[in-house]
Amino acid sequence: MKLLCSVLLLSLLNISTCILASAQNNDSLGSDQKFVLGKVEVLHSSILSENRILNVYLPEGYDSTARYPIIYLLDGSADEDFIHVAGIVQFNTFPWVNRLPKSIVIGIANINRKYDFTSKSDRSSDNKLVPRNGGSTRFISFIEQELQPYVEKKYGSSEGNTIIGQSLGGLLATEILFTKPQLFDKYIIISPSLWWRDGYLLRSSPSILNSNYSAPTKIYIGVGKEGSIDGSKEHIMEEDARLLADKLQKGLSRHVNVYFDYLPEEDHSTITHQAVFNAFRMLYPKQK
pLDDT at 232 over 70: no
pTM of the model: 0.88
CA atoms within 13 A on the CB side of 125: 12
pLDDT at 7 over 50: no
Task: Map residue 90 onto helix, strand or coil.
Answer: helix
Q: What is the reported pLDDT for 24? A: 53
Match domain 36-283 to its CATH number in 2.40.50.180, 3.90.1170.40, 3.90.79.10, 3.40.50.1820.
3.40.50.1820
pLDDT tens string 239-255: 999 999 999 999 999 99
pLDDT tens string 189-203: 999 999 999 999 999
Q: What is the reported pLDDT for 230? A: 57
CA angle, 148 as apex, 283 and 275 as ends, to 5°? 30
Q: What is the reported pLDDT for 106? A: 98
Sequence-separated (6 or more) residues with CB below 8 Å from residue 87: none
Residue 11's pLDDT band (cuts 50, 70, 90): very low
Tell me what the mean pLDDT of segment 24-33 comes to: 63
Domain boundaries, the chain: 36-283
Rounded Cα distance, 170 and 12, in Å: 38
Task: Map residue 276 onto helix, strand or coil.
Answer: helix
* Cβ-based burial of 73 (10 A; exposed 0-12, middle 13-18, buried ≥19): buried
CB 69, CB 160: distance < 8 Å: yes
pLDDT tens string 79-117: 999 999 999 999 999 999 989 999 999 999 999 999 999
